[in-house]
Structure 1
Amino acid sequence: MEELFFNFINQFGYVAIGALIFIENVFPPIPSEVILPLGGFFTTTTDMVLPGVIIAATCGSVLGAFILYGIGWVLSRERLMRFFNTRPMRLLGFKDTDIASAIDWFDRKGQFTVLICRCIPVVRSLISIPAGTARMNPVKFTLFTLVGSAVWNTVLCSLGAAAGSAWMTVSEQAEWVSDIVKYVIIAIVAVVAVFWIVKRIIPNLRQERNAAKDASETGHTPKHMR
């Protein structure tokens, strides 16, 4: 994959960097940890300059972020609440009020996370979806995305330029940090999943089973099971 990126950037320069980072924001498995240091390296072997590489990457970041922001906007609070109010979601322990509370929290206190998360691997792209769902002000979203992405892009591009032909070392170290973040996220998700199963799913299944048992005895189907 590195060879593909190398040839693409070597041929199309700034446009290639902007396009790759745009795709990376929409499809996170494409590693910016490779693209950005490589872009920095090219400032040492071509007529590309570091500020131009950073600007191209940041433009790609902002445009890509708006794709996911749009997906979040389409989902909307109302649609998510209807979805999580369905019987299968209720059996999994979800409530429509959970969604409302989460969106209200993001609207009150979570918008600043858009800025912070732009510098965190993995979540740096996905944070755009809750921002869109919460109808975060587009101007504020653009500003936070621009600043956060510029910081991330500047660091990795500058390190790649400083490393020169050893840019792969920067890429490997950045990917190592990204892997650590992934493991931390997986661990957190696992703990939350266990807590959710114990506190939400198991009690709901017991309630459902007891309701079904009562229904079979009385001949009436509880409203929540219809």
Structure 2
Amino acid sequence: MTAANASSSSGDGSWLSAIADWVVSLMDLIGPPGAAVAVGLDNLFPPIPSEVILPLAGLAASRGSFTLAEAIGWTTFGSVFGAYILYVLGRVLGADRLTRIADRIPLVKGEDITKTVAWFERHGAVAVFFGRMVPLFRSLISIPAGVSKMPWWKFGLLTTAGSLIWNSIFVLAGFFLGENWHVVEQYAGILQNIVLVVVAVLVVWFLVVRIRAAVRGRRESTEDAAG
């Protein structure tokens, strides 16, 4: 499989096409470990979409560049390896340090971190497993896992299980769709857009609540001073 072929399949010279060409070139150069590297970077840099990388690995497997098992195995390894990097980052930062940082950010409170860690300690297993199948959160969920000091083996098992399901779906789609692999991107894009809209709504809600609380607090302080 060549980068030129991938370019003709993926389309229009967009940044996604550029990523597709790069991923294919990487797999041409070092085989299935190239897919692992690309997926690992997807964990560290969410703008690199696994929804593009994984079907390309399946396409390569369908062409005989490597086996389907290698495509799924190596991409899952890349997912877990990238997730562990963010997990370690969370462990290094720790809840106390993040709490101090949060206290210095406007409209954010240190107690937000404390509440998040407490929530994660109660629901962390479910969050890590299903989080591996949600765009954007697939990468970010590793950080609170590290902050809350989830056991490394438990994090690894949950991340592997969730990543294996997600990766298998997209690799198999690329394998069976062949040259039409980019159809997957269209449907995955709908899911990603839904997630982004939900996140945007939550961010706006958070800002509105905090700004109203800040304004109310200033008004009460002014009234107390006047009285």
CA deviation vs aligned residue, 1:171-203 (integer Å, no higher than 9, x gap): x23xx33x3334333433343344334433223
* Residues 41 and 192 of structure 1: CA distance in aligned 2, closer, same or farther (over 3 Å): closer
Q: Could you tell me the TM-score, scaled by structure 1's length?
A: 0.82
What is the 5 A alignment of 1:54-133?
A: 54-86=72-104, 88-89=105-106, 92=107, 94-133=108-147
Cα distance in 2, alignment partners of residues 199 and 30 from structure 1: 32
Q: 1:201 aligns with which of 208, 211, 218?
A: 211
Moved more, 112-121 or 2-11: 2-11
Letter in 1 for 2:160: L
Q: How far did 1:103 drift?
A: 0.6
Unaligned 5+ residue runs, structure 2?
A: 1-17
Verify the 8 A CA contact 2:38 2:78 in the aligned structure 1.
yes
CA deviation vs aligned residue, 1:140-185 (integer Å, no higher than 9, x gap): 1000000111111111111111112222223x23xx33x3334333
Moved more, 52-61 or 189-198: 189-198
Q: 2:161 aligns with which of 142, 147, 157?
A: 147
Q: Which residue of 1 aligns with 2:26?
A: 8
CA deviation vs aligned residue, 1:90-121 (integer Å, no higher than 9, x gap): xx1x3322221221111012331100111122
* Residues 183 and 164 of structure 1: CA distance in aligned 2, closer, same or farther (over 3 Å): closer
The answer to whether the aligner puts 1:23 opposite 2:41 as a matched pair is yes
- Work out the percentage of aligned pairs sharing the same amino acid: 38
Higher-RCO chain (CA-CA 8 Å, sequence separation at least 6): 1
- The alignment yields a C-alpha RMSD, in angstroms, of 2.2
